[in-house]
Structure 1
Amino acid sequence: MNKTLLLPKTSLSVFALTAIAFSGIAQNQSKPNIVHIVADDVGYDDLSCFGSKDIHTPNLDALAESGIKFTSFYAPHGTCTPSRAALLTGRYAPRVNNNTGLYVLFPHSKHGLEDELEVSITELLKEQGYRTGLYGKWHLGHLPQYLPCVHGFDEFLGIPYPNDHGPERIGNSGWRPNGISDPAIPLIEQAQVIKRCDNNDLAELPALFTREACKFIYRSAKEDQPFYLQYANIETHTPWFVPKGFEGRSKAAAYGDAVEYLDTSVGIILNTLKRLKIEDNTIIVFTSDNGPLVHKDEELENCYGRFGFTDPDREHVLREGKYQERFEGGIKVSCIMKWPGHIPAATESDEPITGMDLFTTFAHIGGAEIPTDRVIDGKDIRDLMFGKEGAKSPHEAVYGFTATGRLMSVRYQNWKLILSGKHWTGNFDSPQLYDLTADMGEATNVASEHPGVVKKIMKMAENAKIAIKNNQPLK
């Protein structure tokens, strides 16, 4: 990889640098490639194929038209680090690191995802002959012993934590030691810091990551090696910087520009697969790590101006957003999957599934065995992916745990139960029940009308809390 930060002028130049002399490379290997696009803080309805009216995402829309949309897909957590740890390990967030959990990490954090305690999907796939690469954001520990290449990634080019963990945030948020400012964001290749990025650099990193991801695809295809690529974009996380020339395109301000640039990057990656003639042997999965920002944040605005401005009047179909596991807006996110010849085109499923299911499903597709020395919460969802008649969710329920193990919510069939207790989203003296079929936005509490349902789910909740505490499987 070139360690020089290149500054492309347009998306065409991004692609041109990777497409020169492409004549098409048809892979002969039988194991499918896997491209997992992990969007950062993108809301459920922030894609036009999921209902957005002010953000245009033609490439993701086309992906949905050629594959399946999951409309009840749950990210494992409402914040970045715990959610990404669960995605990588297939385990609920409080189980990670030998049941200690993993909180949101900062530049001054001294801990991360422990390789000795966890098994990642990349480690399993490497054992099956996969080349593995991560381009974009990591956020599971910035010290050398926690970086991606320790966890089964052959290649890594990216940033170790979010792009707003820079020197602008001078201890104002309460998460940082008083008076200690963060260093400039490091750009890391493998385990080496190759550049400290100012805001102009951060704006051009999305193009760099797209370009290098395409080069990774090309190298893997040329060597006829199956690959797992995690493309973890950064521009949809504050500050919403995009490469020069892409500003002001969206009707949803800087955030909308960022989502539309992500869509452009997705289109470039899809086109690379097509030009190499390997799209038919490639599984593409688009998800988000958690829901979007929905509340104004004065500190972000002071640091980044319009690139940190959240419009509180912008409407979403789900209640609340990131930073919580109570309401749908924090953990229910858009999900699209495509695999020509296996996943029926233009299909949709509302069966509840989770980000942790990708661990088990990718492992099975890649020929790997699931570890038996630990609890794996992810289930195999191939029947749902492939549109098998009568296929149902493999989960009795989906649980909204905090990283510390506090249970906030339970999704059971069409019901969503919010547990009682104090929280910044509201203090509830008793559980609240919502019928998501009739009330997707969780506006009307119907607990008093369905006491039997509340009792049933509360019993499930108590069993789930015991299972997490005692390191036992959930149903």
Structure 2
Amino acid sequence: MRVKIKLFTLIVATFFTPFINAQEITKPNIIHIIADDVGYDDLGCFGAKDINTPNLDQLATDGMKFTNFYTPHGTCTPSRASALTGRYASRVNNGTGLYVLFPHSTTGLEDELEVSITELLKEQGYTTGLYGKWHLGHLPQYLPCVHGFDEFLGIPYPNDHGPERIGNSGWRPNGISDPQIPLIEQAQVIQRCDNNDLAELPALFTREACKFIYRSVQDKKPFYLQYANIETHTPYFVPRGFEGQSKAGAYGDAVEYLDRSVGIILNTLKRLKIEDNTIIVFTSDNGPLVHRDEELENCYGKCGFTDESREHLLREGKYQERFDGGIRVSCIMKWPGNIPASTQCDEMITGMDLFTTFADLAGAQIPTDRVIDGKDIQPLMKNEKGAKSPHKAVYGFTATGRLMSVRYKNWKLILPGKHWTGNFETPQLYDLNNDQGEETNVADAHPKVVQEMTKLADNAAAAMKNHQPLDQ
């Protein structure tokens, strides 16, 4: 019966679209597209040569590219928790932090301890929906409907956390066999998905996201849509008929399918004539895989293969907060009449800034009983004269609060210590204006810069430990 109701809603919306007065909605609709594990230069408009992304390229032509957008963390769960709450991951859950979650995990984003952007938007009359991946807790008390989402259809963790995986880092304890990936609607598991099912989910999520937009416009309510695709995370499964079309293998197929989904959503906005009152933000949750993984290849073949020969502008990728490849990602924003078309912003911003910016645009009050690390970036979005980054520096914290890197002006400081990306006994300094790939350590040539940034790092680490703001 539920399916029939949704189908009827779509039919009504399609035939009566001309009679909907979108201008009655004064607050802007907000669409946040969170790509999963997509690299900085894996879009055509950011330099990709082997992956075609015409819809995202057009989005950039119609809006603004942000070239120094830093996601809060190098892995999925902490990054998404930060974006949803406006706080560094190590602050989340009253300072206990939130790590990458798995099917056997018993923790998640605590509603009693955190305030999400969706909760603030709902207070301002928004309808809220999430289609795709959640990854902030799979138990009922942690699902999206507890955190201010009116609608949720998706999977609670990545599509490679199925029973075929063992887990290279020992994340599956005591030989536990994980269940097939659950497809959840609201808080109800409606299907257990095998790999063939997972391949068709991206198309389902796109269709349902468009239906959500239709329903929201029918109800004459502003909406917040989080579209969190799954196919660009291993395994790179795409719906039948879309395989083998990219020059970049299965991963390229997945990025190109994501681009098609973005195009469908954009066309829905055009059809409903709500483009002018809709903000679209495209980001990635973290950088891409850049190293091969034998287990992924054994489980998923070419759909688990990472091509190490593909060149990237940035050093390293996912799983680390040291080098830009893990935490600096592509970002595009469009809002006709507010964000000027064909523009580029090179100022530093973060994924946490979206929390504060969205809240301000909706007229919501920012919580004052906790540290909010996100800043309002509207002056940058609107290309106001003299607008600068609201951050003195951007910090690469782990989920446990260990500081790995500092971005300050054109400089990047890598702090010493042991890590799988390299054991450094002394600080490493890179000039990103001349060395975007962080290849040449210039610390010896700029001792005063190292000293200044080390002081920033010490102050930030102390502020984080003492639950204080970082920009003081």
- The answer, yes or no, to whether TM exceeds 0.5 is yes
| 2:9 counterpart of 1:35 | no
Change (3 A) 1:253 1:116: same
Q: Is the 8 A contact 2:31 2:226 kept in 1?
A: yes
Alpha-carbon distance in 2 for matches of 1:397, 1:137: 30
Instruction: Give aligned-pair identity as a percent.
Output: 80
AA partner of residue 372 (structure 1): T
Deviation at 1:322, TM superposition (A): 0.2
SS of residue in 2 equivalent to 1:126: helix
Deviation at 1:21, TM superposition (A): 2.5
| 2:311 counterpart of 1:311 | no
Residue 186 of structure 2 corresponds to which residue in structure 1? 190
Residue 235 of structure 1 corresponds to which residue in structure 2? 231
Gaps of 5+ in 2: none
1:56-455 to 2 correspondences below 5 Å: 56-171=52-167, 173-455=169-451
AA partner of residue 212 (structure 2): F
Deviation at 1:178, TM superposition (A): 3.2
Deviation at 1:175, TM superposition (A): 1.1
Residue 21 of structure 2 corresponds to which residue in structure 1? 26
Alpha-carbon distance in 2 for matches of 1:289, 1:264: 19
What are the Cα deviations for residues 286-308 of structure 1, in whole angstroms up to 9, with x where unaligned?
00000000000000000000000
Gaps of 5+ in 1: 7-15
Deviation at 1:371, TM superposition (A): 0.2
Alpha-carbon distance in 2 for matches of 1:237, 1:3: 28
Alpha-carbon distance in 2 for matches of 1:26, 1:35: 20
Deviating beyond 3 angstroms after TM superposition, the runs of 4 or more aligned structure 1 residues are: 1-4, 16-20, 22-26, 170-173
What are the Cα deviations for residues 109-139 of structure 1, in whole angstroms up to 9, with x where unaligned?
0000000000000000000000000000000
- 96-105 vs 172-181, which deviates more? 172-181
Q: In structure 2, which of residues 35, 44, 51 is the aligned counterpart of residue 48 of structure 1? A: 44
Alpha-carbon distance in 1 for matches of 2:98, 2:3: 31
Q: In structure 2, which of residues 454, 457, 462 is the aligned counterpart of residue 461 of structure 1? A: 457
SS of residue in 2 equivalent to 1:330: helix
Alpha-carbon distance in 2 for matches of 1:387, 1:20: 36
What are the Cα deviations for residues 18-60 of structure 1, in whole angstroms up to 9, with x where unaligned?
9742634331111000000000000000000000000000000
AA partner of residue 178 (structure 2): D
Deviation at 1:163, TM superposition (A): 0.3
What are the Cα deviations for residues 64-83 of structure 1, in whole angstroms up to 9, with x where unaligned?
00000000000000000000
TM-score (norm 1): 0.96
Alpha-carbon distance in 2 for matches of 1:18, 1:305: 43
AA partner of residue 263 (structure 1): D
Alpha-carbon distance in 1 for matches of 2:367, 2:180: 39
Aligned residue pairs, count: 465
Alpha-carbon distance in 2 for matches of 1:225, 1:322: 37
AA partner of residue 69 (structure 1): K
Q: Is the 8 A contact 1:171 1:178 kept in 2?
A: no
Alpha-carbon distance in 2 for matches of 1:237, 1:125: 29
SS of residue in 2 equivalent to 1:91: coil
SS of residue in 2 equivalent to 1:258: helix
TM-score (norm 2): 0.97
Alpha-carbon distance in 2 for matches of 1:68, 1:326: 27
Deviation at 1:174, TM superposition (A): 1.3
Deviation at 1:223, TM superposition (A): 1.0
SS of residue in 1 equivalent to 2:396: strand
Q: Is the 8 A contact 1:420 1:428 kept in 2?
A: yes
AA partner of residue 80 (structure 1): C
What are the Cα deviations for residues 59-104 of structure 1, in whole angstroms up to 9, with x where unaligned?
0000000000000000000000000000000000100000010000
Alpha-carbon distance in 1 for matches of 2:133, 2:103: 13
Change (3 A) 1:445 1:123: same
What's the C-alpha RMSD, in Å, of the aligned pairs? Answer: 1.4
Q: Is the 8 A contact 2:137 2:143 kept in 1?
A: yes
Q: Is the 8 A contact 2:13 2:215 kept in 1?
A: no
- 275-284 vs 22-31, which deviates more? 22-31
